[in-house]
Structure 1
Amino acid sequence: MTEWFREYPFITFILIYVMITYVYNKVFKTRRLPILKEAIIYVMLGLGAGMLLLFQLGALPIVPCLAVAIGLMLMVRVRYFFQDRRLNKKQ
């Protein structure tokens, strides 16, 4: 898998950018910001994705780690969904 990421660095960059954007939106974004501040944040996320791409191309498993983080976030959302559903059913 690491070799595939090395062969296609642009696709790897897009994967990293999409994953960190998802994590930012679900975990750190608390309210809507003005458009210029949002643009600056997404540009900074792009720069961070570029840095993470260098680490990924080096030897670190950045994409699998981000995938695990997103998987854990989805598991928590599913758990909260079923917990809320169960509480609403009792009422």
Structure 2
Amino acid sequence: MQWLTGWFGNHIYITYLLIFIFMSYVYNKVFRTRKLPVLKTLLVYVLIAIGSIMLLVFQVAGLPIILSLAVAVLLMLLVRVRYFVERRTGKRPS
């Protein structure tokens, strides 16, 4: 995993973009309960961009931020697939 962390450290813009995309996905799927007005939505994405800068610093310092976000996104996709399969088969958990 050291080579992957080094690669992300050498490609700052790609790393920032991945962090921003992952954080935006997590926000949209977990925290957004309703559609916000345009200015509030813009403010939320500006704050996500600022938070992505902070996480980029941690990623370059050696913490596995992108891998952690990727695991979170993968688990959310797994839950969506599970709900899709349950809806198709007609089974609901008790």
Q: TM-score range by the shorter chain?
A: over 0.9
Match of 1:81 in 2: 84
Question: Percent of counterpart pairs with the same letter?
Answer: 51
Match of 1:50 in 2: 53
- 1:60 aligns to what SS in structure 2? coil
Match of 1:15 in 2: 18
Deviations 1:56-83 (A, max 9, x none): 0001000000000000000000000000
- 1:74 aligns to what SS in structure 2? helix
The count of corresponding residues between Structure 1 and Structure 2 is 88
* Unaligned runs of at least 5 residues, structure 2: none
Q: Is 1:28 matched up with 2:49? A: no
The one-letter amino acid paired with 2:85 is F
Distance 2:89 2:72 in 1: 26
Distance 2:79 2:40 in 1: 29
Flag as ranges the 4+ runs of structure 1 deviating above 2 A. none
Distance 1:31 1:76 in 2: 20
- 1:17 aligns to what SS in structure 2? helix
Q: Is 1:6 matched up with 2:9? A: yes
Distance 1:74 1:37 in 2: 27
TM-score of the two chains, using structure 2 as the length reference? 0.91
Structure 2 counterpart of 1:63, from 63, 66, 69: 66
